[in-house]
């Protein structure tokens, strides 16, 4: 597998487990026209994702990396088929089949960037909601809670948990959703936000277990973590995939400098932003 610019079009593996074809999304909002002196309302139509096609095979853990607003979340939402509206286009196939979102929920789970629950559920009850498509399975719920280290807090109300714990509840709900699927697909948008390193390691192990038979695609802000977690990386910018390939080859100082439009420095096994006049962050100060 080699690094390719633009799209993962040159892949030669057997049929991908998850395929997105010509995925696109536009956001519309009303505001003043750029460069105009008048304040007359003007409908802006901004492409958040520009006709993107990709395929992810079983066994892969794919990290999507890029600056804020580059389209990572939009791509994941498109693959999860949760985006609705006139600006949404493209087709998603799982195991070669274009199935409705409701059917796809049996094998594909998604954790959005900001999980939420407005009812007074316990952690366990939220995780159990993940079994909506596949049917009740208390053992699957227990396994999912253990995978994120929340077994001991399973009966706590979600709104009494910390931010990181709530995030883990959302990940556990997704794990429970695909528990029992032959070839599961897991889509996670910034899944480690607010989670301590020990628990990150625990969840990474769970994702590895999913990837033995299925595929995991996750967005990450930290390219260093992406190097450790993922087997393949995509770098996005302005709604397009700029680079795609094996993690070590894609996530380099040069590609990330282009992605973030800011000098990046490679130090040991990590990548760090260069801070004007001060070298890099502490860990890389000797580089």
Partner 1 sequence: MNSRGFVLLAAVLFLAVLLRILIGPVSGDEGTRLVFAVPSAEIFGLRVMSVASAAVVGATLGLSGLALQTLLRNPLASPFVLGISSGAGFGVACVLVLGYLFAWGRVPWATETLGAVFGASLALLIVSRFGRGGDGHNPITLVLAGVILGSIFSAGSVLLEHLVPHGLRGDLLSWMSGRLPEIPNATHLATVAGLAVIAGTSLARSARALDVSMLSDDEARSSGVNLAQLRGKLFWTGGILAGVAVAYAGPIGFVGLVGPHLARRVLGPHHALLVPGAALAGATLLVAADAVRQVIDLGSGRLPVGVLTALAGGPAFLWLLRRGAIR
Least Å distance between CB 122 and partner 1?
9
Distance separating alpha carbons of residues 272 and 243, to the nearest angstrom:
19
Residue 153 Cα distances to 168, 200, 241, angstroms:
11, 17, 39
Contacts 24+ apart (CB under 8 A), 275-278: none
Residue with tokens 């997105």: 20
147 binds partner 1 (CB under 8 A): no
Which of the ranges 61-69, 75-83, 251-259, 264-272 carries the binding residues for partner 1, by CB under 8 A? 75-83
Q: Which two tokens stand for residue 100?
A: 């409705």
**CA neighbor of 56 nearest in space, from 73, 80, 74:** 80
Site string for partner 1, 162-181 (x = CB under 8 A): --------x--x---x----
232 binds partner 1 (CB under 8 A): no
Least Å distance between CB 107 and partner 1?
11
CA atoms in the 13 A half-sphere facing the CB of 189: 19
Site string for partner 1, 181-220 (x = CB under 8 A): ------x---------------------------------
What's the start-to-end Cα distance of the chain, in Å?
Answer: 30
Give the one residue of 101, 155, 248, 262 binding partner 1; rule: CB under 8 A: 101
26 binds partner 1 (CB under 8 A): no
3-class secondary-structure state, position 13: coil
Least Å distance between CB 176 and partner 1?
10
Residues in contact with partner 1 by CB under 8 A are 77, 80-82, 84, 101-106, 108-112, 114-121, 125-126, 129-130, 132-133, 170, 173, 177, 187
């Amino acid at each position: 597998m080699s690094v390719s610019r633009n799209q993962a079009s040159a892949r030669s593996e057997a049929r991908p487990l998850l395929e997105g074809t010509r995925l696109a999304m536009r956001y519309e909002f009303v505001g003043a026209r750029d460069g105009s002196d008048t304040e007359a309302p003007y409908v802006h139509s901004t492409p958040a994702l520009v006709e993107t096609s990709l395929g992810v095979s079983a066994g892969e853990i794919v990290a999507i990396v890029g600056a804020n607003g580059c389209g990572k979340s939009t791509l994941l939402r498109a693959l999860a088929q949760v985006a609705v509206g006139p600006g949404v286009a493209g087709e998603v196939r799982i195991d070669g089949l274009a199935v409705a979102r409701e059917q796809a929920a049996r094998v594909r789970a998604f954790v959005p960037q900001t999980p939420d629950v407005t009812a007074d559920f316990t952690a366990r009850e939220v995780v159990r909601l993940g079994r909506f498509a596949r049917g009740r399975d208390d053992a699957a719920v227990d396994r999912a809670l253990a995978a994120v280290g929340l077994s001991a807090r399973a009966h706590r109300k979600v709104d009494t948990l910390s931010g990181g714990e709530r995030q883990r509840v959302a990940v556990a709900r997704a794990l429970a959703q695909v528990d029992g699927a032959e070839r599961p697909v897991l889509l996670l948008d910034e899944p480690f936000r607010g989670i301590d390193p020990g628990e990150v390691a625990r969840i990474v192990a769970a994702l590895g277990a999913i990837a033995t038979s299925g595929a995991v695609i996750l967005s990450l802000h930290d390219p260093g973590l992406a190097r450790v977690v993922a087997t393949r990386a995509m770098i996005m910018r302005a709604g397009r995939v700029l680079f795609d390939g094996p993690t070590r080859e894609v996530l380099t100082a040069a590609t990330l400098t282009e992605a973030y439009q800011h000098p990046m420095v490679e130090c040991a096994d990590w990548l760090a932003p260069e801070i004007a006049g001060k070298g890099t962050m502490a860990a890389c100060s000797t580089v």
